[in-house]
Amino acid sequence: MSSGDALVMESAQVLWDYHNTETTLENADIIVGLGSYDLRVADRCAELHAAGLAPLVMFTGASGNWTRNRFAGSEARAFAERAIAKGVPPEMIRLEEKATNIGENIALVRAELPDAQRVVWVTKPQTRRRLTATLQMTWPGIKSMITAPQHALAAQPVEDHSLDAVIAEMVGDTWRVAAYPGKGFQSLQPMGSDIEEAFDALVANGFTGHLPATVRSLLDR
Mean pLDDT of 92-119: 96
Q: Exposed, middle or buried, 137 (CB in 10 Å: 0-12/13-18/19+)?
A: middle
Write down the pLDDT at residue 59: 98
Q: Exposed, middle or buried, 128 (CB in 10 Å: 0-12/13-18/19+)?
A: buried
Considering the entire predicted model, what is its pTM?
Answer: 0.93
For the chain, the structural domain boundaries read: 6-18+153-219, 20-147
Q: What percent of the chain has pLDDT over 90?
A: 86
Write down the pLDDT at residue 136: 96
Query: Which residue in 162, 166, 169, 174 sits closest to 200, CA to CA?
Result: 174
* CATH architecture assignment, domain 20-147: 3-Layer(aba) Sandwich (3.40)
